[in-house]
């Protein structure tokens, strides 16, 4: 299942309990709460009409009464009943929660820790407070809390941001779009009014944030779900690798977000690729062996060379002879 389909499935599963708890809510209010456009919400509601229990007849499918003015569930097909997690599912959920709770901006840490305590209590019995009493939620930085609030309320933001690529601190006004997690770093994706384009702002580099008393107004093309699939494509704040790819390795252009620049007479290709962190990109390139050569930037060339030398030294220390 693609990430876009899994996100929509999660949203659809949550909609029925939500509308049961908010009978008669308008489409605009529901869309704002669920973080989608009114158009997407109406599309989801039409999809729900075709979901339900085996048999798939009039008495089996989810039934709703909805318009842009009011939405009500007339038959839930059992989706309103609480889910019962198996021990394996509960453990997987705990692992997922613990993996993101310390990532700035991804979740409300207080709510996440409360959920962790409840799941642990359900698994082993007893009080969640007893199980999680020794742990306290991490203190959320004021800037992070402000960004999450502005995103939820669809408000514009003024950011004071450190740009590592230029080693400068800038101030800019942005229209928040979504929060994403890439290579163990959390980012705010937003429309930057100064640059007039979509930009990524790493949470640990946001020095200050102020929620403005005006609605966020990102262009429609920037808020489409497909736009999230190419986050790094044209963002100058994200490092750009320049690569020379052997002709036999041309397949990597289909597997990774690379932009082909040229084809050389020997069949090799020159391409670029944006990357989130130096360590991740160096590990990726080492996996290609001699099939991909790094041309730049200098820090990536140095990182790949350093790791290659370390690997050769480890082989030598283990008593292996270098293949001739």
d(CA 245, CA 231): 23
Q: Pick the last residue of a domain from 30, 46, 75.
A: 75
Asked if residue 137 belongs to a domain, the reply is no
Is 246 found in the same domain as 208?
no
Q: What pLDDT is stored for residue 182 in this prediction?
A: 72
User: DSSP readout, 90-125?
Assistant: HHHHHHHHHHHHTSTTTS-HHHHHHHHHHHHHHHH-
8 A C-beta contact, residue 277 and residue 231? no
Q: Tell whether pTM > 0.85.
A: no
- Cα dihedral 171/175/176/177 (nearest 10): -140
Q: Which residues pair with 260 in a beta bridge?
A: 271
8 A C-beta contact, residue 274 and residue 240? yes
Q: What pLDDT is stored for residue 74 in this prediction?
A: 82
8 A C-beta contact, residue 274 and residue 258? no
Q: Which residue has the tokens 């230029």?
A: 166
199: left (phi over 0), alpha (psi -120 to 50) or beta: beta
Q: Pick the last residue of a domain from 203, 230, 257.
A: 230
Phi, psi (degrees; rounded to nearest 5) at 64: -135, 155
Q: What pLDDT is stored for residue 209 in this prediction?
A: 94
Instruction: Going residue by residue through the chain, which has 324 residues, state the pLDDT in tens, using 9 for 90 and above.
Output: 444 555 666 677 778 888 888 888 998 888 888 878 888 888 888 887 777 666 666 666 777 888 888 888 887 776 665 556 677 777 887 888 887 777 888 877 887 888 888 887 777 664 444 444 445 666 788 999 999 999 988 999 999 998 765 667 889 999 999 888 776 778 898 998 988 888 888 898 899 999 999 999 988 877 765 555 455 555 566 788 999 999 889 888 877 778 888 899 998 999 998 887 788 888 889 988 889 999 999 999 999 999 988 888 888 887 765 443
Q: What pLDDT is stored for residue 20 in this prediction?
A: 85
Asked if residue 36 belongs to a domain, the reply is yes
Q: Which residue has the tokens 């497909």?
A: 226
Asked if residue 80 belongs to a domain, the reply is no
Is 226 found in the same domain as 256?
no
Domain of 150: which CATH number?
2.30.30
Q: Pick the last residue of a domain from 99, 132, 165.
A: 132
Is 195 found in the same domain as 159?
yes
Is 57 found in the same domain as 92?
no
Q: What pLDDT is stored for residue 243 in this prediction?
A: 94
Nearest of 70, 72, 82, 25 to residue 48 by alpha carbon: 72
Q: What pLDDT is stored for residue 120 in this prediction?
A: 79
Is 91 found in the same domain as 67?
no
Is 215 found in the same domain as 175?
yes
Q: What are the structure tokens assigned to 140, written together? A: 């959320």
Q: What pLDDT is stored for residue 280 in this prediction?
A: 82
Asked if residue 16 belongs to a domain, the reply is yes
Is 38 found in the same domain as 61?
yes
Is 257 found in the same domain as 226?
no
Is 49 found in the same domain as 18?
yes
Q: Which residue has the tokens 């359900």?
A: 122
Is 115 found in the same domain as 91?
yes
Domain of 64: which CATH number?
1.10.10
Which H helix or E strand runs over 3? helix 3-21
Per-residue pLDDT tens digits for 76-120 = 776 665 556 677 777 887 888 887 777 888 877 887 888 888 887
Q: What pLDDT is stored for residue 58 in this prediction?
A: 62
Which H helix or E strand runs over 156? strand 155-163
Asked if residue 235 belongs to a domain, the reply is no
Q: How many domains does the chain have?
A: 4
Is 148 found in the same domain as 118?
no
Is 220 found in the same domain as 148?
yes
Asked if residue 323 belongs to a domain, the reply is no
107 is in which domain, residue-wise?
A: 87-132
Q: Name the CA radius of gyration of the chain, rounded.
A: 24
Asked if residue 92 belongs to a domain, the reply is yes
Asked if residue 322 belongs to a domain, the reply is no
What number of other Cβ atoms are within 10 A of residue 111's Cβ?
A: 11
Q: What are the structure tokens assigned to 174, written together? A: 């942005």
């Amino acid at each position: 299942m693609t990430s876009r389909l899994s996100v929509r499935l999660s949203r659809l599963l949550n909609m029925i309990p939500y509308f049961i708890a908010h009978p008669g809510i308008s489409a605009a209010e529901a869309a704002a709460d669920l973080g989608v456009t009114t158009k997407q919400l109406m599309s989801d509601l039409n999809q729900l009409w075709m979901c339900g229990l085996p048999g798939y007849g009039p008495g089996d499918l989810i039934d709703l009464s909805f318009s842009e003015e009011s939405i009500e569930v007339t038959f839930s097909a059992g989706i309103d009943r609480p889910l019962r997690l198996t021990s394996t599912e509960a453990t997987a959920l705990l692992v997922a929660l613990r993996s993101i709770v310390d990532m700035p901006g991804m979740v409300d840490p207080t709510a996440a820790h409360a959920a962790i305590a409840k799941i642990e209590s359900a698994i082993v019995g007893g009080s969640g407070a007893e199980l999680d009493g020794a742990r306290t939620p991490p203190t959320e930085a004021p800037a992070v809390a402000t960004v999450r609030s502005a995103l939820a309320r669809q408000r514009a933001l003024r950011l004071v941001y450190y740009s590592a690529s230029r080693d400068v601190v800038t101030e800019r006004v942005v229209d928040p779009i979504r929060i994403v997690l890439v290579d163990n770093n959390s980012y705010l994706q937003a429309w930057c009014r100064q640059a007039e384009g979509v930009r990524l702002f790493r949470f640990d580099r946001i020095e200050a944030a102020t929620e403005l008393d005006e609605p966020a107004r990102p262009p429609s093309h920037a808020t489409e779900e497909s736009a999230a699939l190419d986050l790094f494509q044209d963002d100058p704040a994200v490092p750009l690798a320049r690569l020379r790819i052997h002709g036999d390795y041309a397949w990597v252009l289909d597997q990774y977000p690379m932009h082909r620049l040229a084809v050389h007479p020997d069949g090799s290709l020159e391409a670029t690729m944006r990357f989130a962190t130096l360590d991740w990109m160096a590990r990726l390139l080492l996996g290609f062996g001699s099939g991909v050569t790094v041309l730049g930037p200098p820090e990536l060339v140095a990182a790949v060379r350093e790791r290659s030398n370390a690997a050769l030294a480890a082989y030598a220390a283990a008593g292996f002879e270098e293949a001739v």
